[in-house]
Amino acid sequence: MATKVDDVEEMKMTTELRDNGHSYDATTIKVLEGLEAVRRRPAMYIGDIGKRGLHHMVYEVVDNSVDEAMGGYASSIIVEIDKDGSIIVTDDGRGIPVEEHPEEGISALEVVMTKLHAGGKFDHESYKVSGGLHGVGVSVVNALSEWCWVEVSRDGVVYRQEYERGHPRTQVTKNGKRMKVGTKTCFMPDKEIFTSLEFKFDIIASRLRELAFLNKGLSIDLIDHRTGQKVNFLARGGLTEFVKYLNESKTPIFKKPIHFSKSQDNVEVEVAIQYNDGYSESVYSYVNNIHTIEGGTHLTGFRTALTRSINNYASKYNLVKVNGIGLVGEDSREGLTAVISTRVREPQFEGQTKTKLGNGEVRGIVEHITNDYLGAYFEENPPVAKKIIEKLVAAATARDAARKAKELTRRKTALDSAALPGKLADCSLRDPELSELYIVEGDSAGGSAKQGRNRRYQAILPLRGKILNVEKARIDKVLSNKEIRSLITALGCGIGNDFNAEKVRYHKIIIMTDADVDGAHIRTLILTFFFRYMKPLVELGYIFIAQPPLYRLRHGKSEQYAFSDEEKEKLLKKMSQTGVSIQRYKGLGEMNPEQLWRTTMDPETRTLLQVSMEDAASADRLFSILMGSETAPRSKFIQENAQYVRNLDI
């Protein structure tokens, strides 16, 4: 999420830039062969040519080493960011084969590095991913690198080959002796391709941490030679540790996560579960180490089995006594933190972002394994079972109250604009793709925004004061909060089980708060709401943060705005410094409608930060640390991340 200050900086992008990776005129698309195709249309292979795509290059190389580890051949991966900004990935696996490839007549290493989709040809047994962002093959990374080299240590010899923009620059040569085995790949992303070349330690670290949790016992080091920063990830407990990590700032209702793993019909299933005393659900599902954002058959199987096992136990021992209300799926997930990791031979990915598992057979397998295990577990651990059921009965009772509150909101939503909140100044266009909603802090700034906006496509919703902290409230309380109700009604997409992203009335939802500590807090509160209750809007990239200026510099008739202290200094130098008057904006309310439009709302001149969610698990944990009730993890987090949170009020 764009809550970290450094990420926010990185996410400065105009609409134009964002579209860059995909703006290919259909008439220019030819059938291209080999790596030239990759260089002509990089976005097709790695998603985009910005920050995200750049980091996918690292993941792609690391994934190959992880595959080797999953096969049981490697136990350590070292990722280094070198001083020059290149990446080095070293593993202790068998080494990429170097002998002549029977069909191609060249070294297998050269085939792997220079031919598209050659990656999995040697190894039918492994769980390689077909399609999607990962699994495109290391040749794609090579093609998009200014230079690249690989060293393979096998049979006591080091083999080496170098490449330039995907083409071999040397033969595969023997380069000395080494007793160790493994593969070392180094690449420098091509500045002709990427709009940004700077690797972020934190972004790479998040993915490596996730991989370490998902691959029990695999040691992954990250070393940044630019700064000397180092970290090692190793999770001997696998998903158990993942769940504990996610629950770090929450209060679990039993100590040891429930953890099991089993295979059936070539599908491996691993699950860890721990309930906490909070209200939100944090369930993360993976297929072959890929986060399935949209879920799929494995997740459905898990959910069905969880609700069934709990209900079975509860009715067997007569534990559910709330007016005959049984526990439904929604109740069984309150305060649930769980990770489901599956390994599937030929995964079919579906959905808008190709992150939804479609394989039908997986559902029954996960359901069966989960039912079997949980049934036995509850019988053997009655105190845990009772604690869970006690909590969920409370949830079911609250569900009743929530249903009433929700119906109120829904009835209003169902009506047309007559039922929209009174404070909303709607736009006249009805096409969501062209419509923008500004969520504005305070009535006075809301007033300026209403006057300054382009009313054709910009709607304004002022929110008064701080909205409810949804991290600390159950859904019934969330839904009875006036400010949140206005927001839900204005958006028109419902909430909870009725949520439907297709109904959202605006595809740009822009949070505009003051550039001070309070503003940062309100922004985080609103983001927490979106993250917990309307996550797909975040995933679809509909949530933005407006960037109001911090200073106005005036010199005679010329007027300039600065959005950071550095920018102010630069402008001061340019404007000759004498006779420049500087105004520091403390709030949006100090700008008149004209100024607000020009600096913060006019698509021609404004900068919007798009809130992205590369790493949902980390964002989840971040929100519970920032907004939850435990203070110890919060102070620890602030001490450790002082540089990132200086603008957040916590």
Catalytic residues: 441, 514, 516, 518
Query: Mask of contacts with ligand 0RA, 604-643, x by CB under 6 A?
Result: ----------------------------------------
CB of 226 to ligand 0RA, least distance (A): 24
Indicate the residue among 125 and 433 with the shorter CB distance to ligand 0RA: 125
DSSP 165-202: TTEESS--EEEEE-SS-EEEEEEEE-TTT-S-----HH
CB of 244 to ligand 0RA, least distance (A): 30
DSSP-assigned beta bridge partners for residue 298 = none
Contact segment (CB under 6 A) with ligand 0RA among 1-9, 93-101, 166-174, 220-228 equals: 93-101
Question: Is residue 64 close enough to count as binding ligand 0RA by CB under 6 A?
Answer: yes
CB of 66 to ligand 0RA, least distance (A): 9
CB of 155 to ligand 0RA, least distance (A): 10
Contact segment (CB under 6 A) with ligand 0RA among 90-98, 189-197, 450-458, 617-625 equals: 90-98
Contact segment (CB under 6 A) with ligand 0RA among 9-17, 63-71, 369-377, 618-626 equals: 63-71
CB of 181 to ligand 0RA, least distance (A): 9
Question: Is residue 471 close enough to count as binding ligand 0RA by CB under 6 A?
Answer: no
Indicate the residue among 86 and 183 with the shorter CB distance to ligand 0RA: 183
Residues 149-188 that bind ligand 0RA (CB under 6 A): 183
CB of 97 to ligand 0RA, least distance (A): 5
Question: Is residue 93 close enough to count as binding ligand 0RA by CB under 6 A?
Answer: yes
**Structural tokens at position 463:** 């929110």
| Cβ-defined contacts of 95-100 (< 8 Å, 24+) | 95/152, 95/153, 95/154, 95/181, 95/182, 95/183, 96/150, 96/152, 96/183, 97/122, 97/154, 98/152, 98/154, 98/159, 98/172
Contact segment (CB under 6 A) with ligand 0RA among 62-70, 201-209, 232-240, 412-420 equals: 62-70
3-state secondary structure of 381: coil
Indicate the residue among 200 and 207 with the shorter CB distance to ligand 0RA: 207
Residues 183-212 that bind ligand 0RA (CB under 6 A): 183
C-alpha distances in Å from residue 306, one per residue of 38, 267, 329, 332: 44, 19, 8, 7
Indicate the residue among 153 and 524 with the shorter CB distance to ligand 0RA: 153
Contact segment (CB under 6 A) with ligand 0RA among 91-99, 356-364, 403-411, 539-547 equals: 91-99
**Structural tokens at position 600:** 């913060």
Indicate the residue among 18 and 94 with the shorter CB distance to ligand 0RA: 94
Question: Is residue 132 close enough to count as binding ligand 0RA by CB under 6 A?
Answer: no
CB of 207 to ligand 0RA, least distance (A): 17
Cα gap 508→521, rounded to integer Å: 21
Contact segment (CB under 6 A) with ligand 0RA among 88-96, 231-239, 361-369, 424-432 equals: 88-96
CB of 286 to ligand 0RA, least distance (A): 21
| Cβ-defined contacts of 492-498 (< 8 Å, 24+) | 492/413, 493/534, 493/537, 494/410, 494/413, 495/406, 495/409, 495/533, 495/534, 496/330, 496/402, 496/406, 496/533, 497/330, 498/406, 498/410
Cα gap 474→278, rounded to integer Å: 8
Strands, DSSP E only, in 450-515? 458-463, 508-512
Indicate the residue among 183 and 448 with the shorter CB distance to ligand 0RA: 183
Give percent helix, percent strand, percent coil of the chain, each to the nearest 5: 40, 20, 35
Any idea how long the chain is?
650
Judge contact between 536 and 352, C-beta under 8 A. no
Identify the residue among 19, 36, 123, 431 touching ligand 0RA (CB under 6 A): 123
CB of 161 to ligand 0RA, least distance (A): 14
Indicate the residue among 95 and 462 with the shorter CB distance to ligand 0RA: 95
CB of 103 to ligand 0RA, least distance (A): 15
Angle ∠(512,518,522) on CA atoms, nearest 5: 50
Indicate the residue among 64 and 359 with the shorter CB distance to ligand 0RA: 64
List, edge to edge, every strand of the sheet that includes 608-610: 458-463, 436-441, 508-512, 543-546, 608-610
Question: Is residue 63 close enough to count as binding ligand 0RA by CB under 6 A?
Answer: no
Question: Is residue 47 close enough to count as binding ligand 0RA by CB under 6 A?
Answer: no
**How many C-alpha atoms does 510 have within 13 Å on its Cβ side?**
24
Cα gap 472→337, rounded to integer Å: 16
Indicate the residue among 64 and 599 with the shorter CB distance to ligand 0RA: 64
Contact segment (CB under 6 A) with ligand 0RA among 47-55, 61-69, 549-557, 580-588 equals: 61-69
Contact segment (CB under 6 A) with ligand 0RA among 92-100, 127-135, 511-519, 531-539 equals: 92-100
- Could you tell me the sign of the dihedral formed by the alpha carbons of 104, 110, 115, 120, in that order? positive
Cα gap 532→375, rounded to integer Å: 30
Number of shown-chain residues binding ligand 0RA (CB under 6 A): 12
Neighbour count for residue 529 (Cβ, 10 Å):
22
> Which residues are CB-neighbours of 384 under 8 A, at least 6 positions away?
254, 258, 377, 378
Strands, DSSP E only, in 298-364? 336-343, 349-350, 356-357
Amino acid identity for residue 83 in this structure? K
Indicate the residue among 150 and 267 with the shorter CB distance to ligand 0RA: 150
CB of 80 to ligand 0RA, least distance (A): 15
List, edge to edge, every strand of the sheet that includes 558-562: 558-562, 551-555, 581-584
Amino acid identity for residue 141 in this structure? V
Indicate the residue among 137 and 548 with the shorter CB distance to ligand 0RA: 137
Pick from 200, 220, 199: which is nearest to 210 by CA? 220
Question: Is residue 60 close enough to count as binding ligand 0RA by CB under 6 A?
Answer: no
Cα gap 439→523, rounded to integer Å: 10
Question: Is residue 96 close enough to count as binding ligand 0RA by CB under 6 A?
Answer: yes
Identify the residue among 18, 94, 262, 345 touching ligand 0RA (CB under 6 A): 94
Which residues contribute to the site for ligand 0RA (CB under 6 A)? 64-65, 68, 91, 93-97, 122-123, 183
